[in-house]
């Protein structure tokens, strides 16, 4: 490899993973025991209605009553996660609450951060709308006028609570992701901040993706954005989420919440490319409720982070509803990436497919942990689960833990799992065609993850491949 190529890779690595800015905040909730006073301070700073404060306080009680998850086989070690050492809320120092709609109105240091991540360029080339969150608040939000004219709403969650109160109150952490779901959902319900609200009216197809990007800049903080997507009957939307944080010595915590409501014959695709730093614990709860003949698609790329526990879930509530999952996980030294999918077939003629890809190297651990539940009466339902693992060395680990609960006899259920190393014969064949060892292995990995890149717009498929390539640096020779 040439010195110019080496320098370019080093520059990419610094730009994507190592750059950070001095913290500048207008309001900061300090570390310490998470108590009612802290919750009231956050809610007061956001000028929230009383019902939201009540939900926060109820979630706080549930959080304190629940134990930490510790008894799942092979789960990541969460002993370092001390909520008392997390900064739960930082409002960036910008003039406009809820963000600005002109990129040039942002402070220079925030512009510079997102310029390095390619957000303005992506907006110009491929997107219907863009939201950017910095620390705990959305700092930039923009939606193309042609979608606004059709009644599409894309704004930050804090603005949605104020300006679309009734619809948010009806859907926010009620029957999709209640705070009682798990300990980190309860934590999220207590101290959530920022995130996206997307509403697509009946019979409207948003033809270009909507994107939100979430950036943690400060050391030792937590980010708890909430995303609420409502797609009415016969509508369609594609939402893309990107995440990153710089490397620090203290741990950071990301515990977002995602709720998606898919109306009759509606279609929602939710794509995630998460590239957290190696000191971040990524503990999210994502769930969709899918009505009759609706389609929900989850496309997820998980890399970075010290530990990830992420299992997007769909409840197939209406007859003929469909759910598709395509996931890829990449774990290097000291990383435990525990991901999967959950599907609940609660109606007849429902269908689900799960395709999971994992790559581990340098002693990293990946794990597929999934659940498919087919209820009594959900006849003529079908599910297919396929898990493939690729390992670089004998020290790395990859496990598959599929769990299926089948209560109906008239169903079609299939599961397949494969695990293996990069074959010497494959590498030799590519070398015989003129590739060096590194490029041969990277080509094999690119082919391995092709199912997920095919589901992303070209700009994001290229980006995912670049991130995987950067993760592989130093491990191939």
How would you classify residue 449: left for phi > 0, otherwise alpha for psi between -120 and 50, otherwise beta?
A: alpha
Contact criterion met (CB below 8 Å) for 367 and 396: no
How many C-beta atoms lie closer than 10 Å to residue 300's C-beta? 24
What does the alpha-carbon distance between residue 234 and residue 264 come to, in Å, rounded to a whole number?
6
What is the model's pLDDT at position 432? 77
Nearest to 296 by CA among 259, 329, 328: 259
User: Buried (b) or exposed (e) across 443-465, using 16+ Cβ within 10 A?
Assistant: eebeebbebbbebbbeebbebbb
Which string of DSSP letters, residue by residue, matches 203-231? T-B--S-EEEEEE--STTBEE--EEEEEE
What's the rounded Cα separation, in Å, for the pair 280 and 305? 5
**pLDDT for the residue 209:** 79
Residues in CB range of 267: below 8 A, 6 or more apart = 231, 235, 236, 237, 294, 295, 297
Provide the 8-state DSSP code for 18.
I
* CA nearest neighbour of 39 among 191, 173, 187: 191
Q: pLDDT 10s per residue in the chain (477 long)?
A: 444 444 444 444 444 444 344 444 444 566 667 899 989 988 998 899 999 999 999 999 999 999 988 878 888 989 888 888 887 777 655 454 544 455 455 555 545 545 555 554 554 444 444 445 444 444 444 555 677 788 999 888 988 999 999 999 999 999 999 999 999 999 999 999 888 899 999 999 988 778 777 665 555 567 888 999 999 999 999 998 876 554 444 568 889 999 999 999 999 999 887 777 778 899 999 999 999 999 999 988 877 788 999 999 999 999 999 999 988 888 888 899 999 999 999 999 999 999 998 888 889 999 999 999 999 999 999 999 999 888 878 888 888 888 999 999 999 999 888 777 766 666 766 777 777 777 776 677 777 777 667 766 655 566 566 666 666 554 433
Q: How many C-beta atoms surround the C-beta of residue 31 within 10 A?
A: 16
Q: In angstroms, how far is the first alpha carbon of the chain from the final one?
A: 11
CB 223 within 8 A of CB 246: no
For residues 364 and 335, is the Cβ–Cβ distance under 8 A?
yes
pLDDT at 5: 43
Q: Which of 316, 427, 326, 310 is nearest to 366 (CA)?
A: 310
pLDDT of residue 198: 94
Q: Per the structure block, which two tokens stand in for 87? A: 């900064």
Per-residue DSSP letter, 31 = S
CA distances from 189 to 3, 61, 176, 391, 395 (A): 49, 10, 13, 37, 38
d(CA 62, CA 70) in angstroms, rounded, equals: 18
For the record, the structure tokens of 373 come out as: 């539940």
Distance, CA of 180 to CA of 60 (rounded, Å): 10
Q: What is the pTM of this model?
A: 0.83
With residue 360 as reference, give the H or E element that holds it.
Answer: strand 351-360
Domain ranges in the chain? 3-310, 424-477
Distance of alpha carbon 43 from alpha carbon 162, whole angstroms: 12
Residue 388 CA: distances (Å) to CA of 57, 58, 354, 416: 42, 41, 11, 8
Work out the number of other CB atoms within 10 angstroms of the CB of residue 32.
14
What single string gives the DSSP state of each residue in 309-329?
EE--EEEE-STT-EEEEEEEE
pLDDT value, residue 311? 95
CA angle 337–448–415, rounded 5-degree value: 70
The answer to whether the CB of 353 falls within 8 A of the CB of 326 is: no
β 196-200/153-156 pair status: antiparallel
Report yes or no: 331 and 364 within 8 Å, Cβ to Cβ.
yes
CB 251 within 8 A of CB 80: yes
Extract the tokens encoding 319.
Answer: 């007859």
Burial 231-247 (b: 16+ CB within 10 A, else e): bbbbbbbbbbbbbbbbb
In whole angstroms, how far apart are CA 434 and each of 259, 429, 439?
Answer: 48, 9, 10
Look at residue 381 in the predicted model and tell me its pLDDT.
Answer: 98
């Amino acid at each position: 490899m040439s010195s110019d190529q080496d320098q370019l890779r080093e520059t990419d690595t610094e730009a994507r993973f190592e750059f950070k800015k001095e913290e500048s905040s207008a309001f900061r909730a300090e570390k310490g025991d998470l108590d009612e006073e802290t919750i009231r301070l956050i809610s007061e700073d956001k000028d929230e209605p009383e019902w939201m404060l009540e939900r926060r306080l109820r979630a706080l009680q549930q959080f304190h009553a629940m134990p930490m998850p510790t008894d799942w086989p092979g789960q990541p070690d969460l002993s370092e996660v001390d909520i008392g050492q997390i900064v739960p809320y930082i409002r960036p120092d910008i003039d406009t609450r809820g963000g600005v709609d002109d990129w040039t109105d942002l402070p220079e240091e925030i512009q510079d951060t997102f310029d390095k991540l390619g957000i303005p360029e992506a907006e110009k080339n491929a997107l219907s709308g863009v939201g950017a969150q910095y620390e705990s608040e959305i700092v930039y939000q923009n939606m193309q006028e042609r979608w606004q004219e059709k009644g599409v709403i894309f704004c930050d969650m804090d603005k949605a609570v104020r300006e679309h109160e009734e619809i948010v109150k009806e859907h926010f952490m009620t029957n999709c992701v209640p705070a009682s779901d798990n300990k980190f959902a309860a934590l999220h319900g207590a101290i959530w901040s920022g995130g996206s609200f997307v509403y697509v009216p009946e019979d409207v197809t948003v033809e270009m993706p909507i994107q939100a990007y979430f950036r943690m800049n400060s050391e030792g903080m937590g980010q708890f954005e909430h995303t609420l997507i409502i797609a009415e009957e016969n509508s369609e939307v594609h939402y893309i989420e990107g995440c990153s944080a710089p490397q620090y010595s203290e741990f950071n915590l990301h515990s977002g919440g995602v709720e998606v409501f898919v109306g009759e014959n509606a279609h929602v695709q939710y794509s995630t490319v998460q590239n957290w730093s190696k000191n971040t614990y990524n503990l999210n709860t994502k769930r969709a409720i899918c009505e009759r003949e609706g389609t929900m698609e989850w496309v997820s790329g998980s890399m970075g982070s010290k530990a990830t526990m992420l299992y997007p879930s769909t409840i197939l509530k209406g007859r003929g509803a469909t759910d598709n999952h395509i996931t890829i996980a990449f774990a290097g030294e000291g990383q435990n990436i525990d991901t999967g999918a959950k599907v609940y077939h609660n109606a007849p003629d429902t269908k689900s497919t799960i395709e999971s890809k994992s790559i581990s190297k340098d002693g990293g651990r990946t794990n597929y942990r999934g659940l498919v539940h087919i209820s009594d009466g959900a006849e003529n339902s079908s599910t297919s689960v396929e898990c493939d693992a690729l390992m670089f060395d004998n020290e790395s680990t990859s496990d598959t833990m599929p769990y299926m609960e089948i209560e109906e006899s008239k169903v079609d259920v299939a599961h397949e799992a494969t695990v293996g190393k990069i074959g010497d014969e494959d590498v030799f064949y590519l070398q015989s065609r003129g590739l060096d060892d590194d490029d041969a292995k990277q080509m094999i990995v690119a082919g391995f993850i092709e199912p997920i890149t095919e589901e992303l717009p070209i700009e994001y498929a290229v980006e995912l491949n670049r991130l995987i390539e950067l993760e592989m640096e130093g491990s191939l020779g």
